Amino acid sequence: MTERTHWLYRPENRPKLWALLMVILALVLLPELFVHHHAHFPQLGFELDTQVGFHAWYGFIACAAMVVAAKVLGIFLKRPDDYYDD
């Protein structure tokens, strides 16, 4: 039985999937042109959260930082998965 590879797995479709992701990202940034975010902490004079695209770059950087943190901790914490098997 020969099954045709699903279109998600065909190499020629990979650039298209990345392009689709870029389009979606651009779409969620689009409303920034019209929406004005209100500050969550006006009493502290903190206005970073009213900047254009704050949530976008903050989400990206937070995730990158967590992946790096996991990677670094992994150096010390990772063991073969039969570590506790007697």
Partner 1 sequence: MIEPVLPPALVMVLGASLIPAVRGKWRTALVLGLPLLTLLLVWLVPEQAGLMLPFLGLELIPSAASAEGRLFATVFALMAAVGGLYALGSKARPLELAAAYIYAGSAIGVTFAGDLVTLFIFWELMAIGSTAVILLADTQKARKAAFRYLLVHLLGGVLLMGGIIAHWLDTGSIAVAVMAPESLGTMLILGGILVNAGAPPLSAWIADAYPEASPSGTVFLSAFTTKTAVFALLVLFPGTELLIWVGLYMVFYGIIYALLENDMRRILAYSIVNQVGFMVCAIGIGTELALNGAAAHAFAHIIYKALLLMSAGSVLMMTARRKCTDLGGLFQSMPQTALYGIIGALAISAFPFTSGFVTKSLETAAAAEQGLLVVWMLLLAASAGVFLHAGIKFPWFVFFQKDSGLRPPEPPAAMRWAMAIFAVACIALGVFPQPLYAILPYQVDYQPYTVGHLVSQLQLLLFSGFAFFVLLGQMRRTLTISLDFDWFYRRFMNALAEEFALRAAHAFERLEARAAGRLRALIDDLYVHHGPQGILARSSPTGSMVLWVALMLGCTLLLYIF
**Contacting residue, 4, 11, 15, 84, with partner 1 by CB under 8 A:** 84
Burial of 79 (0-12, 13-18, 19+ CB in 10 A): exposed
Residue 73 vs residues 31, 34, 59, 62, 64: alpha-carbon distances, Å: 38, 42, 21, 16, 14
Answer yes or no whether residue 66 interacts with partner 1 by CB under 8 A: yes
| Cβ-proximal residues to 62 (8 Å cutoff; 6+ apart), any chain | none
Residues 17-46 that bind partner 1 (CB under 8 A): 21, 24-25, 28-29, 31-32, 35-38, 40-41, 43-44, 46
At its nearest, how many Å lie between partner 1 and the CB of residue 71? Answer: 6
**Contacting residue, 16, 47, 51, 56, with partner 1 by CB under 8 A:** 56
Answer yes or no whether residue 74 interacts with partner 1 by CB under 8 A: yes
Q: Is 41 strand, coil or helix?
A: strand
| Cβ-proximal residues to 38 (8 Å cutoff; 6+ apart), any chain | 50
Contact residues toward partner 1 (CB under 8 A) are 5-6, 8-9, 21, 24-25, 28-29, 31-32, 35-38, 40-41, 43-44, 46, 53-60, 62-71, 73-74, 76-81, 83-84
